[in-house]
Structure 1
Amino acid sequence: MKKMLLSLAVSSVLVGCGGGETLEDVKKDSTPVLPLASVKFDPSNSVISVPNDLLLNGTKDGTLNFPGELDENGNAALARANYASPSLSLGALDGWSTQMPYVINLDVPSGYAISEQSASDPTAVRIFEVVMGADQSDEQCKQVPAGIACRVVGELTNGLTGDFVSALNGSKNGIAIQPLKPFKAGKTYITVLTDSLKMSDGRAVQSSSTYTLLRQEAPLVTDTQLALQAVIKSYENAVTSEGALSKENIIYTAAATMQSVGQVVGTIKKLMAGSLATGSNPKLVLPEQPMMTVSDALAAVIPDPATRAPFQAVQYMRGSIQLPMYSSKPATKEISSAADTYWRAQCDSAVMVQGYKAAIGGTLPAPQADTNDAACAAMSGGVLRDFGLDSTRFLTKYNTIPQVQWLANVPVQVTKPIPQLLGIEMPATGWPVVILQHGITTTKEAMLGLTLALSSQGFATVAIDHPMHGERGLDIDGDGIDDFNATDGKGSVLSYMNLTSLLAARDNLRQSSVDLLGLRLGLNFVNPAMGLNPTQVSFVGHSLGSVVAPSFIAHANLPLDPQVDPLFKVQSAALASGGSGIASFLAESEEFGPFVQGSVLLAANNLATKAFVTFIATDAASQCSVPDGIEVNPQNPVYLSAVAPCAFTHYVAHLSSTGDTQSLAEIKGIIQQFVFAAQTALDSGDPLNYASLVQAVQTPIYMSVVTGGVDGNKADTVIAPTTTNPLSGSTPLARMMGLQTVSETQTSQTPMSYVVNFSQGNHGSVVTTSFRENAGGTAQGHAMAAVEMQTQIVSFLKSQGLYLQITNPAVIAN
């Protein structure tokens, strides 16, 4: 962000104060002045609390501008790889997170404190949804300059039963604001602090001197000052326009525009639909092949023939589908080379195109045939072009067409009932199909455990691996060994959920969703002789498969064209062990949390990191096992990364036992900063932002959540039902999708959506009856939970949301 020069000479502030008194007179009449707390706000020195739209100041492509991101001319000064940094990754976005808590920092004098009661007072912290200038969808506001608040849409409610809550932050030097409902994607909100915010002695918290200058009526000096003054005054005018608030009571305002969500995936769906005209659309190819059963396919993982014998009634087949990949391949096999593999726009940002148009007199040159410029113009109705203006090509609401990097020939797993062994007949239209999507670090084959239950009720299934999982790993150096594969035994979870490049992690989530769209469309073109009915398609997702599902389901069922819509239609869906608020649930996960937090602490590269590395060298080496082939060497990043999860757990325990609260607080602050940046970067791939769309398209949804509570059975140890962030976890996602919590069999005349909480079971129970020791409980309880989950899924999908069979109350939480 260019610095906003707000320096005013002290003498100019004092002009008009009156004269005539001598210094001695002042001394005699003076009374002691007690220091006052104030809101920290000084944009000239980059002192602003985020989220804040002042970081959109001077944007050339519609993305946020962060210190160090731009050169002196306001152009991107960094290589694409630099945006792997958690903080700079936000510079690739067109707005802020819809769900993350945030803090407005205060300057509190030493020896004084802020009243905790006032910090939670609904009159002290208020939030208004507003329409900003240049909004082309609003007749009243489209002629108002960008960055200026035009009008208020409504006020949010501060309180436990409302839209958000406010309180003092943990350090007691800021106001923490926690959304209880996600903000609307793409909309702008103004946060207001008033003089109801008090110090503990009853005196009101003050505006900063900079804010006081900006809100004054007298015009300021420089163009930058005048522009910022107009912005602040527009905020205050907007929030006071309806008379519920007076300017005299305002001590601070800040606008924050939420980032766009869904436009890019929506554009990909349109491009897929458009490819139907040329026949270049994805097609599921399922050739004739020797008879094989799921029992045969499971032989490698279930050696006992008797255990897998029931699966002899399910046919196993292999096919393929060609899908467009929007992430480029890493240049080397080092994880760092994946930093700039995130999606890239095919065209220049519309913001840049409009700026260029104005600069050359208002008329753009006609596109030349057979050029990318012509393709951009054709696909966007002339809004997007390629003049070589945009070096970063970030995908935003102003630039929604991603560049296809390569085409992947993706293996497809297909199962079908064997009618004579199951005692059922294939419908004349073919078997209805269930798309299965597996969890992180597993494979499509892990979903085979569901196929018997589905086949017995007449369902076929199709499944593909997530990107960089199973058969879709990447072998960069050609040695026959995958260098990027998140599946256990083949690589690291970072291959997919790349904490070293948050934009790459976000786009892996988006790739998973668009792969499912391509698979769903490709089902319509399978050989009819294969006996699959592409007009009756449902979905089951487990873990990561449930995380990407809301985006897939919402986009699949959003109306596009009456002739095309049936080709994408998903009739109903079942989600198991998913959740929203990805950054928060990963950081707090019992299984993944130590890995995430340890990795973040290592990457912080500060004094806290050095202390952690010293602990690893002196203490952790004897307590943490090292994977085969890795030398014990605290100077080796590979070794540090390998032992970080174990070492972090021991380190925190050590700091707690020694009473080192300062170090613990510093580590907590580092993790919180990372979670804020990570969630903001991942937001457009997070299921919470598609929950309302899932409701809008009225797709019946069933969801299972392991809440535990019987025989020591823990709640889900991978994705917890709830976290410290009330919008993160399985339960908040279910609530935001409008699912009804039930514990008994349900029958209805219209399709319904339900969530069932399980008192027994584990994260993987939906696909296996196996006992998961770290989940607590008993082997019998886990097995019963697995059977019950599968029974519920089958009854729900078969009835398309009209019926949910709940048969075993011993595993159901009330």
Structure 2
Amino acid sequence: MSVDLDPNEKSEVVSTGPLVEFDPGKSIIPFPNNLLIDRATGTVNLPAQCGESATGAALRQLVLNKLDGFGTFKSAMRITLTEAVDMTSLTDNIVMYRRATGAVPVDPAAATKIPLVFIPGKTTRFSADCASNSEVDSLTIVPRVPLSARSTYVVAVLKGVKTASGTEFGASSTWGLVRQKANPVTVENGEIISERTPLSPAKPEDKATLLGLDLLWKAHAQAMGFAEAATGKARSDISLAWEFTTQTTTAPLDPAVAGTPAANLPKAAISGVTIIASNSADAVTHIAGVLEDPATFNAPAGVCAAPPAGIGCASIGAVHNGVVTAPIYQSPSANPLGGAAPPVPGPWSSPVAPIKLGDGSLQLRITIPDGAMPAGGWPTAVFGHGLGGNRLYAYLLAPQLARAGFATVAIDFVAHGQRAVQINNAAAAGCATPSTYRTPQCYAPFLSTNLAATRDNIRQTVLDMQTVIQSLKLCTSPTACGGLQVNPAKIGYIGISLGGIVGAVLVATASDIKAAVLNVPGAGLVDILENTDTLPIRCSLVDGLIDAGIVMGAKSNPPTYTMGACTTPAWRAQPGYQSFANIARWILDSSDNANFASRLAAPPRRFLIQKVNGDTVVPNIATDQLGGLTGFTMPTLADRWTATTTTASATITTNPLSNKWVQYNALPVSGADPANTFAHGSLLGPANTGIDGRLGTARMQTDALTYLNANVNN
């Protein structure tokens, strides 16, 4: 729709001074905006941009324009102005409301303002022929809370917003016509019947403008009517208003939504069970062999000894491997190695309603406690490993879980363990003889600059674990699952790092999980990647952005990571990255646990979030976001573990059947009490070889297992 008015042609008095810009004829509109939704398909329809690269065009056409709406978590909105804005004039003069949830309207009288953050800046504007560009003033508007999926929001800029010099911004001439209560143009069957503008429908160019104005007025009628009613302001006091609809986020992973991937999961017991160890002695031998192998965990000799010298593998009476059949939705992507190299997991065919491409076999590692099984079957913990880990990492916690009476089940996440896909064989990168344990740079990353694939690596992993839980519910007899008998009413989850991040989505969508421990998780995937101090993770992201031309600078030198743009934080301030980050949040929304947090916090689910103060992998800002989004104001503190401690922290045992967020601080020596030290991986092993690291792990494990035991069994 093209509307290009002379500023001197107006039907009401509008500002001739500084303006809040609105000129769709020149593609000057606020963003996000339902003017950019294709009415025929219901999906986003972003136009090509000046200077758009082939990568940018592919991202727009194949990813963004497949989405059915705009972002929900930290969704960055932007308006442009003809002068710099006075930030002190924005409070209460830029407002945002939810107008509708799906097709259900919100009563304007009952609508509540959404808290906002404002960020001034500049944006580049190109000429119509893309031959020249200039910098214009802009204002980024970010909601402080996640927006609801498939909901329509109205944003209004009210009279009172001022320039840095104190002059009030006014409305553009086009907006002066669009905001009128009655349509200034009457159109029937494509013909103009009447109009109340300075334009002449007898002129072809004016007729086209009037027809565009009719469409604009109709497109903004609901937003303007709502803004007028919700704010109580006259239309002449609304300098700009627009609406946008958010995308689908949680539905594809919600088993309660008919027709979704989660609603169509198979329900079959674990099959193909092989016995790895059939008694406690064999379990000790097997697990010790895996953990002490220099090529894998390289744990010290005696790791399986009885506590406190070891982790006490004798508590495990059997180790099995099983198979669960799970649907595959990820499209295969070409492997850079070419030839017969296996494909790399890619995005779903559709972000909302993907086509099932086939079935895959998930390998399960199962540990069963030694001793008599409780009536009704074993309480069972599903374990989620961290980034770069695999299902065998469950061995580091399974003995402790077994002593607490839990069987343990674990799978490899997408692109991990046996599902890892090698994409680099260069000797200089350490990939001539690669290992998923030692050279992760040789394999397709789970988290990458391929945003759609990253999103769907997470969602496929959640579906895989939902499928496992459906299988566990059928393991209710001694023979159904090859010897694992599960109490289906006592299924829990415990995940570390990536397992905590993905686990938050799983627990929010799998009602059969009674309680969960989310160890060192975080919300806001972009915030995690942007702020992590772990160079292999950060450098993988930044190097990918450099390859794509988004970030400028030198690439890193894995595996040492002693050089490159990623070694300092300066790359985060680059305009290319800022634009990428906003797009990334939008694309990743439907996999980001920030959008599932309200479901996670809803009864009857119970969860414990464990935060390590000063975490260098998942930054505290991200863990704090998850805590805040699930209803907490701040974490409680864990107690010191001493040589005589045997019980969980008081914050765990006080009101034990409730959600908790607990912080673990490094504690120095205090009198006769030894130090406690914590690191990102303390749940699975000590932060260091000293007693302080071992005590930290004892504290964290005891708290986690005490919480899980109380909440799964009650």
Q: TM-score, normalised by structure 1?
A: 0.69
1:246 to 234, 239, 264: 234
Does the residue aligned with 2:217 lie in a helix, a strand or coil? Answer: helix
Q: Does 1:437 align with 2:418?
A: no
CA distance in structure 1 between the partners assigned to 2:394 and 2:320 by the alignment: 14
Between the aligned partners of 1:268 and 1:194, the Cα distance in structure 2 is 41
Partner residue in 2 for 1:124: 93
CA distance in 2, matches of 1:604, 1:329: 21
List aligned pairs for 1:603-614, cutoff 5 A.
603-605=547-549, 609=552, 612-613=553-554
Letter paired with 1:129: R
- Residues 1:409 and 2:303 are matched in the alignment: no
- The 2-side partners of 1:483 and 1:248 are apart by 70
Q: 1:244 to 1:285 in 2, by over 3 A?
A: farther
Per the alignment, residue 304 of structure 2 pairs with 308
Asked if residue 41 in structure 1 is aligned to residue 44 in structure 2, the reply is: no
Cross-structure match for 2:198? none
Structure 1 residue 576, shift from structure 2 partner = 0.6
SS of the residue corresponding to residue 100 of structure 2 reads: strand
Residue 766 of structure 1 aligns with which residue? 683
Q: In the alignment, which residue of structure 2 is the partner of 1:358?
A: none
1:550 equivalenced with 2:499 (yes/no)? no
Letter of the structure 2 residue corresponding to residue 444 of structure 1:
R
Q: What CA deviation, in whole Å up to 9, does each residue of 1:225-245 have, x standing for no partner?
A: 211112223312111125633
**Shift of residue 477, structure 1, vs aligned partner:** 12
Change (3 A) 1:10 1:192: closer
Instruction: Determine the C-alpha separation between the residues in 2 that align with 1:209 and 1:510.
Output: 46
Whole-angstrom CA distance in 2 between matches of 1:275 and 1:15: 57
2-side partners of 1:681 and 1:485: how far apart?
A: 31
Q: 1:486 to 1:585 in 2, by over 3 A?
A: farther
Instruction: Say whether 1:751 aligns with 2:657.
Output: yes
- The aligned residue for residue 225 of structure 2 is 237
* In the alignment, structure 1 residue 502 sits paired with structure 2 residue 507: no
2:677 paired with 1:789: no
Does the alignment pair 1:341 with 2:346?
yes
**Counterpart position of 1:598:** 542
After TM superposition, the structure 1 = structure 2 runs for residues 721-740 of structure 1, keeping only pairs within 5 Å, are 721-722=620-621, 729-739=622-632
Letter in 2 for 1:6: V
Q: Considering only aligned residues, what root-mean-square deviation do their CA atoms show, in Å?
A: 3.8
Distance 2:11 2:262 in 1: 67
What is the CA-CA distance between 1:427 and the residue it aligns to? 1.1
Answer yes or no: is 1:320 the counterpart of 2:323.
yes
Find the aligned partners of 1:339 and 1:213 in 2 and give their Cα distance: 52
2:404 to 457, 467, 484: 457
Closer/same/farther in 2, CA of residues 169 and 752 from structure 1, 3 Å limit: farther
Partner of 2:140: 176
Q: What CA deviation, in whole Å up to 9, does each residue of 1:603-648 have, x standing for no partner? A: 4537x73xx25xx6xxxxxxx6455xxxxxxxxxxxxxx97x8310
Q: In 1, are the aligned partners of 2:656 and 2:711 still within 8 Å (CA)?
A: no
Aligned residues: 623
Contact 2:328 2:357 in 1 (8 A): yes
Q: 1:329-373, CA deviations, whole angstroms, 9 ceiling, x for partnerless residues?
A: 2233459997993112xxxxxxxxxxxxxxxxxxxxxxxxxxxxx
Change beyond 3 A, Cα 1:211–1:604: farther
Unaligned 5+ runs, structure 2 = 124-135, 186-194, 196-206, 306-311, 426-430, 638-649, 667-677
Deviation string, structure 1 residues 454-487 (Cα, Å, up to 9, x no partner): 1111111000010110011247999xx9999976
Query: Which among 413, 419, 439 is matched to residue 489 of structure 1?
Result: 439
- The answer on 1:206 being equivalent to 2:170 is yes
Shift of 1:538: 0.4
**How much has 1:114 moved relative to structure 2?**
2.2
Q: SS of 2:347's equivalent?
A: coil
The secondary structure found in structure 1 opposite 2:69 is: coil
2:46 to 44, 66, 73: 66
1:95-148 Cα shifts (integer Å, max 9, x gaps): 122122524333344xxx4222113x2x2111111028xx55x4xx6xxxxxxx
Give the match's secondary structure for 1:323. strand
- TM-score (ref. length: structure 2): 0.78
CA contact (8 A) 2:255 2:263 kept: no
Q: Which residue of 1 aligns with 2:179?
A: 215
Aligned to 1:185: 149
Answer whether contact 2:380 2:406 (CA < 8 A) is retained: yes
Where does residue 698 of structure 1 map in the other structure? 604
Distance 2:289 2:567 in 1: 44
Query: Given the superposition, is the C-alpha separation of residues 106 and 288 from structure 1 closer, same or farther in structure 2, using an over 3 Å criterion?
Result: closer
Paired amino acid for 2:549:
N
**Within 2, Cα distance between the matches of 1:584 and 1:273?**
27
- On the 8 A contact 2:448/2:540 being kept in 1, the answer is no
Which secondary structure does the structure 1 equivalent of 2:514 belong to? coil
Distance 2:439 2:424 in 1: 19
Shift in Å, 1:543: 1.2
Change beyond 3 A, Cα 1:445–1:802: closer
Partner Cα distance (1:316, 1:125) in 2:
60
One-letter amino acid matched to 1:253: A
Amino acid at match of 2:683: V
> Are residues 1:194 and 2:158 paired?
yes
- SS in structure 2 opposite 1:114? coil
Q: Over residues 164-200 of structure 1, what are the superposed CA-to-partner deviations in whole Å (9 max), with x where a residue is unaligned?
A: 3335358893333232221112111111111221113
1:684 maps to which residue?
Answer: 590
The answer as to whether partners of 1:128 and 1:153 remain within 8 angstroms in 2 is no
Tell me if structure 1 keeps the 8 A contact 2:43–2:68: yes
Partner Cα separation in structure 1 for residue 250 and residue 268 of structure 2: 21
Q: Distance in 1 between matches of 2:527 and 2:60?
A: 15
Partners of 2:392 and 2:100 in 1: CA distance: 49
Q: Does 1:540 align with 2:500?
A: no
1:255 counterpart (234, 239, 243): 243
Q: Distance in 1 between matches of 2:81 and 2:162?
A: 13
In the TM superposition, residue 306 of structure 1 has moved relative to its aligned partner by 1.9
Q: How far, CA to CA, are the matches of 1:782 and 1:97 in structure 2?
A: 41
Q: CA deviation at 1:250?
A: 0.9
**Cα distance in 2, alignment partners of residues 270 and 485 from structure 1:** 41
Q: 1:125 to 1:596 in 2, by over 3 A?
A: farther
Structure 1 residue 8 displacement after superposition: 3.9
Q: Are 2:273 and 1:286 equivalent residues in the alignment?
A: yes
1:105 aligned residue (79, 89, 93): 79
The DSSP-based 3-state class of the residue aligned with 2:626 is helix
Q: Is the 8 A contact 1:193 1:252 kept in 2?
A: yes
Question: Do the aligned partners of residues 202 and 213 (structure 1) sit closer, same or farther apart at CA in structure 2, a change above 3 Å counting?
Answer: same
Is this contact kept in 1: 2:111–2:230, CA < 8 A? no
Q: Against the structure 1 CA distance between its residues 252 and 448, is the aligned structure 2 distance closer, same or farther, given a 3 Å change threshold?
A: same
Alignment partners' CA distance in 2, 1:200 and 1:332: 53
Cα separation, 1, equivalents of 2:473 and 2:245: 40
Instruction: Give the Cα separation in 2 of the matches to 1:484 and 1:698.
Output: 44
Separation in 2 of the partners of 1:339 and 1:206? 52
Q: Partner amino acid for 1:516?
A: M
CA distance in 2, matches of 1:252, 1:338: 49
Structure 1: unaligned runs, 5 residues or longer: 18-33, 70-77, 142-149, 345-393, 420-424, 558-568, 617-623, 628-641, 654-663, 708-714, 723-728, 772-777, 804-814
- Residue of structure 2 equivalent to 1:561: none
Question: Distance in 2 between the 1:16 and 1:437 partners?
Answer: 62
Report SS of the residue matched to 1:433: strand
After alignment, is 36-45 or 178-187 more displaced? Answer: 36-45
CA distance in 1: counterparts of 2:388 and 2:605, whole angstroms: 28
Question: Residues 195-235 of structure 1: CA distance to partner in whole angstroms, max 9, x if unpaired?
Answer: 22111332211223332332245226443321111222331
- CA separation of 1:770/1:305 partners in 2, compared to 1, >3 Å: closer, same or farther? same
Q: 3-state SS of the aligned residue for 2:359?
A: strand
Please give the secondary structure, in 2, of the residue aligned with 1:193: strand
Distance 2:653 2:45 in 1: 53
Residue 462 of structure 2 corresponds to which residue in structure 1?
513
How far 1:788 sits from its partner (Å)? 1.1
Does structure 2 retain, via aligned residues, the 8 Å contact 1:436–1:463? yes
Structure 2 distance, partners of 1:206, 1:693, is 42
